[in-house]
Structure 1
Amino acid sequence: MRIQRLELTAFGPFTDAVLDLGGGEQGLHLVHGPNEAGKSSALRALGRFLFGFPGKDTGGADGFLHPLKNLRVAATLRLDSGEPFSAVRRRGNKNTLRGPDDIDPVDENLLQQALHYMEQAQFFTLFGIDHEELRKGGEAMARGEGEVGRLLFGAGAGFTGLRQAQDQLRQDMEALFKPRGSTQRINAAKKEYDDLGRQLNEASLQGERWRELHDALATAGQDKEEIAGRIAGIDRRRLRLERLLKARPHIALRRELLERIGSMGDAVLLRPEFGKELLGFRKDLTTALGEAAKIKTKIETLTKDLEALPASFPLLDHAERIAALHQELGSHLKARQDKPGVAKLLQAARANMRRILAALPNSPGQEDLDRFRLSRAQTLPIEELSTEHGRLAERKLAADKRLADLAPALEQARAEQTSIKPLPGDSDLRMAVRSIRGQGDIESQYRQGLAESEAETRALEDSLARQQVWSGSLADLERLPLPLDESVQQFERTFADLADREKASHSDQDAAARKAQEVAARIQATERSGPLPNEADLAEARQTRDKGWRLARDLWRDNKDVSREIAEFTGRMDMDAPQDLAGAYESSVRRADDLADTLRSEADRVAAHAALLVEQETIEQKAHQTQADMEASARERAALEQDWRELWQASGIAPLTPFEMRGWLQNIRNLAAQAVRSRENRLKVETLAGRINDFQTELRAKLDQVRGEDDSLEPCPDNETLAGCLERCELVLETLDARRARQEQAQSDLRRLQGELDHAEQSRTEVVQALADWRERWTEAVAPLGLGAEASPSQASALLQDARELVGFADEALGFESRIQG
């Protein structure tokens, strides 16, 4: 992979800056500039493009000029295949690698393949050493410390240094891993990994068990909801049956009324003028029957006459002649033929006259016959008044019957109205029921929310119980004072840095011990060829020689009392027998000369021995310094551990390592956030419970207010659910509605019946007045017949019919007499 182009679109101090690295054959480019020109920023920008912006990056030195959301770095790479790869990196949580248009996401795997899946730390170790890392590496090389410094120093020292480096690497390898070891870091990490795997399996089993219980709880909640629904359905069915039980009398009455209506069949409602029409039809029927009787009598007479006639068929041949004779003899023959019959008819007519006269009131004689000869102007009023009387009589009869029927019905309607209890005021109850119904099924919402809240609380309590560092309730968890994540991360970094330094100190101590053993062995090997003086021994021998010379001079030349110094000088000389000053001085001169000769003859061995001694001293000084560093690190660790414990002291927690506590802190914060949400959900459920209780209280108060005016209504028990209270209140309202409908119907029936009664009384009054008027006209009309006002229309009609027949018979008798007389 080769970097062709780096575009600093919006990063650090740069805006739309471009580094074109595509020129040249080998791709080596030197980027230089003064301090603060942005070289380190360009290196960081390359790292941001290749590996992305850190998740918790707050901008720092790269976001002081541009807003964090606008940070952009683009680059063009030439892949191993020779194909170009261009992309834009932006700051964000996901899909941060975009195409050149900064719109379409690009697969991160393409970039990782180009990097051969190299990690960021490894990349910067190999290709991204900045000034600070170079400075630290140089200092390490100057001290012969550090992995890089040691390798470079050993390479400069030749094969021996390389062998030491190999030994050091082998020791480090063994410190990291042994096939059958247990304390090495990799072995210990593998054991810890296996232990964590087992714990994870155990935790997974617990999680599966928890899911099992959670599913069982959800199933139980559903069963509970189903049972609650069934109970609510049974309550509704019970209330419905109670309503039906109360409605049974009304249903029976309705059934009875329907049966009575059904028994009437297809009855037709009559028009108001039907009575008048009926009287007219009856009169027409009577007249038609009379006419039919007369026609029947005439037919019978003619039939008899026809039968009495002789039938002579031969005479029919002379019909024309007979007809002519008959015409000629008409009057004579007819008179002779009709005379006996006419006489009989005359007798019959006179007999009928006598019969009719005898039947007439006051038995009038034939001399009063003219009195019965009434004109049409006299008979027509009588006929009309007779018909009118029939109509008036029907009207009066109907009015009397209607009044008789209306009186008990009106009394029953009044009793019905009186039997209905006064209606209490139910507007507040009705409004409360409508308002609560509009809230929906909040009891189901409450039950569901309560089940979910309880399940969530139990799950949180189980998760909290599995926490090993701290034990407490969910309420305590929300108030638990926890340190900041940044503080824990800072302690983690500090502990890690201290561990690295302690490890380096132990490594240095072990290396110094090994080096000291090696130098001591080399010193012993050098000293095995004989004792080797050193420059210090020579200097000390010369000082002793010079001191003897000064004592001899002071004694022999200056005659000073130096006996004590001489005794001390001669005592220091390592001789088999005591000597005087001269012998001791001679010995010191000889020792100094011998040491000088030995140093000259064994110069190489002495130099090597001296170098080894210097190296041994240096190693001891370094060991002392390493020990001091380790003691300082121990003190620092004790102070850091004290600070670490004090950080958690407010929480009452004995903390584990910062690494462990960082994960624990993340988990406990998640649990705390879930606990807050759980508490908020519980508050919502409690709010629903409060609303349900308020609604129940309101319904009972409104229902008691209604029952205060009518105690026959059923109350709502204290243990009744909100749905039950609503059902009972609705049942009460239905009862009141039915009573109101009965009351309104009774009032309507009473008004209707009272109106019909008033109308019937008015009609009867009108009929009575019409009958009085009729009576006056009737008296005047029947006076020619000799009847009084008390005569009935039937009497007048019969008398009028008799008068007509009497006059008719009288006229027939006169005609018969005329025909008989000729």
Structure 2
Amino acid sequence: MGRGAGRIRRGRRRRATSTRRIDRGCGRSQEMIIERLDLKAYGLFSDESLDLSAGPRRFHLVYGPNESGKSTCLRAISALLFGIPTRTTDSFLHSNAKLRVGATLLGPDGNRLTVIRRKNGKTKLHAEDDKTPIDPMELEQMLGGIDEAAFHHRFGLSHEQLVAGGQAVLDSKGELGEILFAAGAGVGRLKAIQTELENESKELFLERGKKRINSLLSELDEKRKIVRELQTPPAEYQLLKRQLAEAQQQSQELADERTRLAQSLAKQKAIREAHAIVPIWRRHKAQLETLSSVPTLDEDFAARRREASANRQTYQRLVDQLQREIEATEKEIQSCLIDPATMEHETEIVALFQGIAAREAASKDQANLHRVVKNRNRHLRELLRDLDIDITDDAPDDEVDQHVDRLHVSDAAQIRINELAGDCEMLRQQERDSLESLQALRKQLAELDDELERHPDVADPAMIESVLSEIGPPATLMDQADQERSSCRDLESQCERLIRELRLGQVSLDDAARLQPPTAAEIDDHDQTLRDRARFVDDAQKTVATLRKQLHDAGEKLTRLQADQPLPTEQELEHSRETRDQSVDRLADSRDDEETFQQSTRKLRQSIRTADDVVDTIRSHQKQVTERASVTLEIANLKDAIDAADEAVIQAERLAAEASQQWSQLWESRGIAAGKVREMRNWVAKHQTLVEKYHSLEKERGRLDSTLTRMDRNATRLAHALQGAWSSRPVAAGHVAAGHVAAGHDGTSAVVDDPMNLESLHDRATALRNELVAAASHLEQIRRKRNEIHAALPAAEAKYESNAAKRKQWDSDWKQAIASFAGDQDVSPSVISMRLKKIAKLFEETRERDIILGRIRSIDDDGRSFAQRAAVIARIVGLECKPDQPSAEIAQALYERLQAAKNAASQTERFKADLTAAKARLVDDNQVLEAASGQLAQLCREAGVDNTDALPGVEQNAAEKRTALQACARAEEQLALIAGGVAVEQFAQQVESHDRVELEHEIGKLEESLQTLNERWSAVEQQVGALKKELSGIDGGDRAAELNQELQLLHGTIQRESQQYAKLRIASMILQQSIEHYRSENESPVLKIACQAFEELTCGRYAGLKPEFDDKGRSKLFGIAASPAGEENLVPVDAMSLGTADALYLAMRLASLEHQLSAGHAIPVVIDDCLIQLDDQRTIAAMKRFSRLSERTQVILFTHHQHLIDLAQSALEPDHYHLHRLAR
């Protein structure tokens, strides 16, 4: 069966065969399917399989509730085909080394490949035996070169992808290329990717913006300017460098001297420190020489000696105690007596003892059974008297048995009696029923004959039926006329609204529709001209603004140069020189006048000093003066440029005004008021809509006229047919009211004169037709019923005669059957049944009494057997018994003797076990005792003594030697650390050769010299620092080097950012070109399939899809809304609801898949619960689409919604899908 047969099965395995098997009859062209998915050890699955081989439609619904492993199956398919991820979440139950997922794949050419994929190991793919390696190329050939990313994007669909795709459809604003590319590539975030590329590129660089590259370029220009402004250092720079070198050399010499003095001071301090350690070292060395004969023992020697002595004493005591216990136990064993004969017959004695209680209970039961037998016999006599058999209470049991035997009825006789009793009431009832049926038929036949005599024939309604059939229901034409009138009114209203929106004033609809606006080419030409002229004006105005800003910056720079320090200008220099020359001329003129000459000389000296000061000032600030002159010249040039730019703005504005005037004339020549280009494009689009609406209105008016003409013609025909039918209509008493006939005749002439009253005419004609048909039908029913009854009458008579004969035969058979035990043969079956039950109860009582008698005899036999066995066992074991002693007492005595023998045997075994345990403990304790003695002997050998009594004294001497060794080693270690690389003995001799007082005096002198040297070195270092600071203040080389290094870094940064910007721009261009190329290649075939799919997925709300070009020449996609009038109502994509956008994306994905399948390799389509957002009808439509797609490739849909399964079971054919339920 197609459904329910695919439940997960545990442990199913096929016989190991070759990895590749050829099956030429199962493959389909260019299709790879998964026949079986083996979840051997993956996630929560262990050794489970999913059979996906069912066909011919390979649409598999895999259902599983939450936590049942649905997502694990999805990951397992991807892991099988492309590898288990390095970091997987499916190893929580099975370790990475044990992860296994396998499958049986059916290739396009019919080849089967059974593989198992591992996570770890050098070889990941193996055959079905999990040992034989498989070449990965075999699996890649099955996949047809499709990698993991392509599989998930092109052949996978999830709820998240569907939602993202629907949102992408809305974000695309209907851009056909983007929608096609997103659906074909399975990329739901296409618009987001484009936006990210654009935003990232704009974050890097934006013309006339302040982004990263712009900022880096500005910083590069600024640093280049600073480098150019750095000047050559002055002449004293070389002197400072020489002074710095001398100071550094002096600092190095002082530092060397400091190092030498510090080393000498450290050496003297080490000798001072060693003065206190050397005597201690000497003392401990002398002590070690004294204790040289004492053996060197480890620290735990005393503990080992004490432990070994304690063990020897303890275990010696335990050994002595165990030996005494062993002797006592052996005596106890010898005193125990055992009865082997009684022990040998333990089973028989126990059985006899256990049978005592049974014998007592059997005796009691036997007395009770005798009373029961007596009661049974009394009950049998009572039953015999109930059966009319005379028997006394004191009659013997044999007489009772004889009466019972005579009442025996055979099984065959009883079955026959039961059969006859069951047939009795049935036969009598059949006889009564057949008689009543016969009488009823005769009565009905008489009544129908009377009714036929009262009814005349009726006229034929065929003529009016023919007319009604031809014209059909009037509501259709009337509804059609109403719809057409409504459509006309709607179209007229739309046209009037469009005329108002077009601002055409009081103009007729015909004139408005005949207006000829400019063509799109003319609008594009004028639009381009207006844009160019506007751009020229904008560029000119921006140029003026830039020049004015530069002029403002130059003015601020000039003000800043003048504010820093008042500098003489070239005019001031020329003026001072002229003043000097004039003074010289006056001096020459006043040589004759001494006083005037002196004054002229002073003025000349003053003017010469002033001119020299101006020249000196200009020379010392040559750069500032030159820069100020340059800025002044730049300001003059900028003013000239601004004048020229203002003229260019005026010229550009004039051209723009001319273009605007030409634009207005273009529209005014056609009688249309001109607006902006965008507004006029919308105006043209609305006018085109008006023209289309006008044509639709003309067509609708023609259809309305045609409908009205048909209504007039049908009304006329119906009136004439009605008049003819009334004239030939017969009057039948009891069926047609006379008043109705008169009203009909009166109304006929009226409706004929009113041909527009089509609905009223149709109602009256229908009523007349129904009346005639009903009358004819009623008469025909009477005739048919009369014939049926007349034909059934003979059969009813024969049935009655047959039932009467059967009843008479039963009476004869009944009397014969009960003759053997019923005296009165007229007894009813119920009485006979009661007598048979009493006879059966009589025989049941007899059987139960006989069973009880057999039980009494069995008890007697068991008692005799028990007494014989007890006597035999007593004789064997030697138990003396009395001749008349009861068997129960013998069994009791045997059991007591058995218990005494068992107690003696048990006590003996216990004593033996105690003896064995004591001997084992004695062996263990002897071993410990020997080990302790051996350890003490070993300690004596280590200490060099003969007995253990001398060990404490040796331990004390060894401890003193060990303490001296440790103290000496510590002192020697300290001396070695102080002495550096000098031998300890040599260093000790050097320490001992120094006087302590002289050593302290020498250390003081060295510390004083080192302090003086440190002060000198610090002063020199401060001088070096001051020289370096002064040198860096006038040295531009370091700053220039730093700037050059920063420029190199800036160059590298700008290069990296520019490369990234170029990559982003190229990626955006390639993506756009790919979208356009995909659209041009796939638009026609994919859109053709998508139209039908979209109509199905929207359940007829949309009739299809249609591409249109917008005013910029871009291809836009529109939905065609379904219309009862057959109109083509286009709905933009961005006006659709989110659910409809999801359906559109799904339709495009399915269309792209079907188109790809027609030209390429097919692999399974895996869907992850993508339908949960759709309503029931759209979900059913989508599953039907999946089912049709599964005829070309395998489709596997995973879901955890039971409602989806219910929809599939109610709407899909059983062989159109296959249901699998995950067992967990």
**TM-score with structure 2 length normalisation?**
0.22
Greater relative contact order structure (CA < 8 Å, 6+ sep): 2
State which structure, 1 or 2, has the greater radius of gyration over its C-alpha atoms: 1
**TM-score with structure 1 length normalisation?**
0.30
